[in-house]
Amino acid sequence: MRPLCYCLECLTLLFERVYPTGEKGMNGFWKAERAAVTEYNSDSRNRTCPECGTVNLEGYCWQSRKDTPAERQARAKW
C-alpha cells in the first residue's frame, strides 16, 4: 500500500508512505492508512506544493464514517 497525495494544480507528488502488505499482510493496513492520513494532515507543509506553492486540501481515508470534521470538509470539495 502506498498512500499518495498529489498537488491538485500541477500533480507533483507531495506525500507518500509505504505499508508492505506483501510482508505484513492486511492486518495493519487500515491503521497504516489512518496513520499516513493523520501525518499528512498534521502539518500544512505536507500539503504545500514545492513546485507551485498551492496549499492542497487535507486528505482522508477510505472509511468516511471515521472522518474528522476537516477531512469531511475536504472530501466534500473533491
Q: Is the pLDDT of residue 22 over 90?
A: no
Full residue range of the structural domain in which residue 15 is found: 4-77
| pLDDT surpassing 70 at residue 16 | yes
**Domains contained in the chain, number:** 1
Please tell me the predicted confidence (pLDDT) of residue 63. 85
Separation CA 51–CA 40 (nearest Å): 18
DSSP calls for 16-43: E----HHHH-STTHHHHHHHHHHHHHT-
pLDDT confidence of residue 8 = 93
Please write the tens of the pLDDT for every residue from 45-74. 999 999 999 999 999 998 899 899 999 999
Give the rounded percent of residues in the chain with a pLDDT score beyond 70: 99
Inform me whether the pLDDT recorded for 4 exceeds 80: yes
